[in-house]
Every structure is written in C-alpha cells, then in structure tokens.
C-alpha cells in the first residue's frame, strides 16, 4: 500500500472550515441550478412543442450527447486531479466552466428561426461540457473542504440550500415576467427562455466570483504517485462501497432519465402548463425548507438510510396521479391536486440535494486509504459517467417509448386513451420501480459514521507519519 506524501507548504489545513466559508462556497450552486433546469428539462421539450422536432429524434440526440458527455467526464475528472493548481486548487476549472456555460446558454435559450437538430445537438454538447467542468470540480472542491463525516453533510446542506434557492428563482421568474407584462402568460416557452438567459448572464459570473473569492481552496493530501487512467480503474475495482453506491445511482438514474418528460406530463397530459411555474415554486420552497430535516435525520439513522427513505417518499407520492383523470376534472382541481403531490415529492427530493455527494466523499476516502492515491475528481467523474449514461438511456428510452405509445407532444395535439396511459407508464410507473429498487440497495451501505470515523483517523495517521518521515529527526 502506497503511503501519502505531504508537501510541507500545504501539509496542514488552515483549520476547520467555518460556516461563513461554507456559505461562500455554496453561492455558486445558486447560479448553476438556476440555468440547469431550463436547459436540461425544458428546452428539448419546447423544441418539440414549438419547432416540431420529433420526440424520438430528440431522444436519440440526447443519448448521443450523453455518451459524448460521459467521455468528457472522464477527461475532465482526470485533468482536474492531475492539473490541480497549487495556489487555487480546482477554482480555475470552475471559472472556465462558468464562462463556457454562459456562451452555450445564449445559443440554446435564444435560438434563431429555422434551426434544426444539428444546432440543438452542437450547443447542447457545449453546454454539457461546461456543466461537466463545473460539476466535477465543484463537487471535488466541496469534498476537500473537510474530512469530517457530519461536516461534509453540512457542506452539502449549505450547497443544497443555495442550489434550491436558485431553483426557486427558476420557478418564480416566469410568474414575475408575466406579472410585469413582458409575456402574455407564465407558461414556459422559448420566449420565456430568453429572459432566463438575461438573468443567467448576471447571476452566473457574479455568484461564481463570490464563491471563488470567499471560500478556501480546500486541502487534499499529495500522493506519491500522480493520478493516471489505468490506476483509477484498478482503484475503482477494489472499492466495494463505491460499487454499492454506484449500483444505487445507476438504477435511480434510469428512472430519473424518464423524468425529463415531466414538463410534457404536466403541460400536455394534465393541461396545467400555465400553473406549472407556481407548482414548481411550491416544490422548490418545500425542498429548501426540508433540507435541514434530512440533515438532522442523517445524524440519527445515517446518511445512506436517510437518502433511501427520501427516495421512497418521493417515488410513492408521484403515483397519486393514478387517481386523477384530467379529461373529466376541472383544470383548477387538477392543478390543486398536482400542487399537493409535488409538495410531498419536494419533501423527499430535498435529501438528494444534500446526501449523495456527502456519501460519495466518504467513499472516496476509502479509495484513498486502499490505494494511497488521491483521486477525488476522477471518482466524481466516474460516478457521473455511469449515472449520466443511465440517465441518458432512461431519457432516450422514455422519449422513444412515449412515441411508441403514439403520444404527440405538439401544441394542440389530441391523444387517445392508449397514448395517455403510455405517459403514465413512462413518467410514473417505471421511474417508481427503478428509483425504489435503487434506493433500497443503499439501505445497508457498508460505510456508516462509525466506520468512516475509523477510516478518517487512519488517513490522518498516515499523513502524520509521512510528515515525520519528510522532516526527519529533530536535532537539539
């Protein structure tokens, strides 16, 4: 087993990370989340609705794009660990990703007339590349702020809170734009996406700068070996907790991929598109409020079991839509019922804003202990590789399955009973089975608080031994 060597100039952290520093770190998550949902969730469906793109063709384009993104994940994860700045840590990568994200958002959210699938494909790939640069380095940075089991939950709780505030603004913006008369309706549209870009142009540079300036770069022990691609896959192969973790999120990733059709479900099937921003605002607010509960519960029953419980709650709540027939009920009744459902879902989903990244940080510690090589960015990249492929397959399968059921997403289209049954199967039933199955895989996760405490102590002892070896005997 390889020992860790520590550079004397950065062998010791500056001290426990403070709440002020954690808050500064979390600010960047606000802007990232604000833009993520419009680009990934709404733009493909709006291109189908307003430009007449085929759902099946969009599904294939998204699938190919995800495979390209999966390659980029590995590339940027490897480069992040290998080219981590001595002075700034992973911060330069995050700044570069934010810049590229604003550029891609301009072309995706303000498209010219007469665009085709190639236009969407190219700029979606560029956007995904920028998101990869940010997400891998931002997550790895957060893991390096502290090695304490519960402090990591606090870091991800702050980040999740900030992220969901970005989601609240995301949901409120269409309402505010319609209220001041800039658009005729609060419904999501490509016209509305233009206003999302204006806000993103302000928030992404500003909040990224606040985060990069106000938070420490984090401290990662320096390995005796430089990370390499072959070493990563050897390390991953022997990391049993990582495979349990990965199995859970691959399974839930298949289910979450199909949920990229949620806007079509609410707008086309339930016919509550104009209320959708209000419902999502309620969802985001509840999610923010529920984050402290899941942080507290993770201290009582462990991060892994708290997360499993949350996914079961969110998944079962979605199945309440089986008791609603939008063709026979007043649209106001459907909207009120849907709001109640998404509120319950928001309570469950809140845990996903906090716990998965905190659990993965502990898993990475296990890998460091086993191999002696620090691969924080590479582990996050490998995790993103597998889950994005799962999500891409789930999304592509969902789009194509919905087309196979004969569902038409174009504005004003009328769908028969078989097509409407299909959207319930694709968006509700199948994701429920997949997400509950995946979450239960994490229930007996082998790396709990006690075991991680032992692991962290051993890592610190190894660092201390390496430091003594470097410094040599003290001569009086």
From residue 92, how far is each of 96, 143, 461 by CA, in Å? 6, 17, 31
pLDDT bin (cut points 50, 70, 90) of residue 204 is: very high
pLDDT of 166: 86
d(CA 200, CA 187): 19
250 belongs to a structural domain: yes
pLDDT of 293: 92
Closest CA to 263 of 182, 189, 155, 350: 189
Backbone phi, then psi, for 375, in 5-degree steps? Answer: -135, 45
d(CA 290, CA 307): 13
Query: What is the maximum alpha-carbon separation in the chain?
Result: 89
Q: What is the DSSP string of 76-113?
A: HHHHHHHT-BTTTBTHHHHHHHHHHHHHHHHHHHSPPT
Read off the pLDDT of residues 345-377 as tens digits, 9 standing for 90 and up: 999 888 887 888 888 888 888 888 877 777 777
6 belongs to a structural domain: no
Per-residue DSSP letter, 13: -
353 belongs to a structural domain: yes
User: What mean pLDDT is predicted for residues 137-165?
Assistant: 83
Residue 360: CB partners within 8 Å, gap ≥ 6?
139, 143, 245, 379, 380, 383
Would residue 302 be called left, alpha or beta, if left means φ above 0 and alpha means ψ between -120 and 50 degrees? left
1 belongs to a structural domain: no
pLDDT of 449: 83
| 144 pLDDT more than 80 | yes
* Max avg pLDDT among 10-19, 64-73, 280-289, 299-308: 299-308
Look up residue 246 and give its two tokens: 């990965």
Query: What is the value of pTM for the model shown?
Result: 0.66
Per-residue DSSP letter, 445: -
16 belongs to a structural domain: no
Is pLDDT larger for residue 236 or for residue 446? 446
9 belongs to a structural domain: no
- Measured at the CA of 394, the angle between CA 393 and CA 395, to 5 degrees, comes to 90
Closest CA to 435 of 346, 352, 321: 352
pLDDT of 323: 92
Which residue's structure tokens are 């800039």?
A: 182
pLDDT bin (cut points 50, 70, 90) of residue 476 is: very low
| 78 pLDDT more than 50 | yes
From residue 391, how far is each of 68, 70, 249 by CA, in Å? 13, 11, 10
What's the mean per-residue pLDDT of the chain? 82
Closest CA to 294 of 337, 336, 346: 346
pLDDT of 7: 39
d(CA 153, CA 299): 9
Closest CA to 48 of 260, 352, 313: 260
Burial class (CB in 10 A: 0-12, 13-18, 19+), 339: middle
Among 62-76, 123-137, 350-364, the range scoring the smallest mean pLDDT is 62-76
| 23 pLDDT more than 50 | yes
pLDDT bin (cut points 50, 70, 90) of residue 195 is: very high
pLDDT of 169: 86
379, 74 contact by CB (below 8 A)? no
Query: What CATH number is attached to the domain comprising 314?
Result: 1.20.1250.20
pLDDT bin (cut points 50, 70, 90) of residue 6 is: very low
pLDDT of 1: 36
Q: Which domain holds residue 117?
A: 21-469
Please count the structural domains in the chain: 1
Residue 4 DSSP SS3: strand
3 belongs to a structural domain: no
pLDDT of 228: 54
Contacts for 456-460 with beta carbons within 8 Å, 24 or more apart? Answer: 456/147, 456/148, 456/149, 456/365, 458/369, 459/4, 459/147, 459/221, 459/365, 459/368, 459/369, 460/147
320 belongs to a structural domain: yes
Read off the pLDDT of residues 240-293 as tens digits, 9 standing for 90 and up: 888 888 888 888 888 777 777 777 888 888 888 888 878 888 888 888 889 889
pLDDT bin (cut points 50, 70, 90) of residue 14 is: very low
144, 376 contact by CB (below 8 A)? yes
pLDDT bin (cut points 50, 70, 90) of residue 99 is: very high
Residue 223 DSSP SS3: strand
- Measured at the CA of 129, the angle between CA 238 and CA 402, to 5 degrees, comes to 90
Per-residue DSSP letter, 42: I
Read off the pLDDT of residues 373-427 as tens digits, 9 standing for 90 and up: 777 777 777 777 777 778 778 877 888 888 889 888 777 778 888 988 988 998 8
pLDDT of 163: 84
| 15 pLDDT more than 70 | no
Look up residue 341 and give its two tokens: 């459902």
- Alpha-carbon dihedral 65, 67, 72, 78, rounded to 10 degrees: 160
């Amino acid at each position: 087993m390889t020992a860790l060597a520590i550079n004397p100039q950065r062998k010791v952290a500056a001290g426990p990370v403070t709440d002020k520093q954690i808050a500064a770190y979390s600010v960047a998550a606000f802007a990232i989340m604000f833009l993520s949902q419009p680009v990934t969730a709404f733009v493909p469906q709006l291109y189908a609705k307003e430009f007449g793109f085929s759902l099946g063709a969009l599904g294939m384009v998204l699938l190919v794009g995800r495979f390209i993104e999966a390659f980029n994940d590995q590339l940027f994860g490897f480069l992040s660990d290998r080219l981590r700045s001595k002075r700034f840590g992973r911060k330069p990568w995050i700044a570069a990703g934010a810049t590229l994200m604003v550029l891609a958002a301009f072309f995706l959210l303000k498209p010219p007339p007469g665009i085709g699938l190639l236009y969407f494909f190219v700029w979606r790939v560029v956007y995904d590349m920028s998101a990869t640069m940010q997400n891998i380095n931002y997550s790895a940075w957060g893991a390096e702020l502290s090695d304490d089991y519960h402090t990591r939950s606090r870091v991800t709780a702050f980040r999740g809170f900030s992220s969901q505030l970005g989601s609240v603004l995301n949901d409120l913006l269409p309402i505010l734009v319609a209220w001041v008369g800039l658009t005729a309706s609060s419904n999501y549209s490509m016209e509305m996406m233009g206003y999302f870009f204006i806000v993103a142009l302000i928030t992404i540079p500003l909040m990224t700068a606040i985060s990069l300036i106000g938070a420490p770069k984090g401290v990662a022990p320096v390995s005796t070996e430089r990370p390499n691609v072959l070493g990563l896959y050897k390390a991953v192969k022997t990391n049993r907790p990582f495979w349990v973790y990965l199995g859970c999120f691959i399974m839930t990733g298949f289910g979450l991929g199909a949920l990229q059709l949620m806007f079509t479900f609410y707008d086309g099937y339930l016919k509550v598109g104009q209320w959708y921003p209000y419902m999502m605002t309620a969802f985001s607010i509840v999610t923010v409020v529920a984050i402290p509960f899941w942080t507290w519960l993770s201290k009582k029953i462990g991060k892994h079991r708290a997360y499993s419980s949350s996914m079961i709650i969110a998944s079962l709540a979605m199945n309440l839509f089986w008791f609603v027939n939008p063709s026979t009920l007043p649209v106001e009744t459907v909207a009120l019922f849907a709001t109640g459902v998404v509120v319950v879902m928001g309570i469950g989903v809140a845990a996903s804003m906090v716990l998965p990244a905190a659990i993965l940080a502990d898993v990475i510690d296990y890998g460091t202990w086993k191999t002696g090589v620090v691969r924080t960015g590479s582990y996050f990249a490998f995790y993103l590789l597998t889950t994005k492929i799962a999500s891409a397959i789930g999304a592509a399968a969902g789009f194509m399955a919905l087309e196979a059921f004969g569902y038409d997403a174009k504005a004003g289209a009328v769908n028969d009973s078989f097509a409407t049954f299909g959207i319930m199967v694709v968006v509700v039933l199948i994701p429920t089975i997949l997400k509950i199955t995946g979450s239960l895989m994490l229930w007996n996760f082998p790396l709990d608080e006690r075991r991680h405490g032992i692991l962290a102590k051993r890592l610190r002892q190894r660092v201390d031994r390496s430091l003594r070896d470097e410094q040599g005997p003290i001569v009086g």
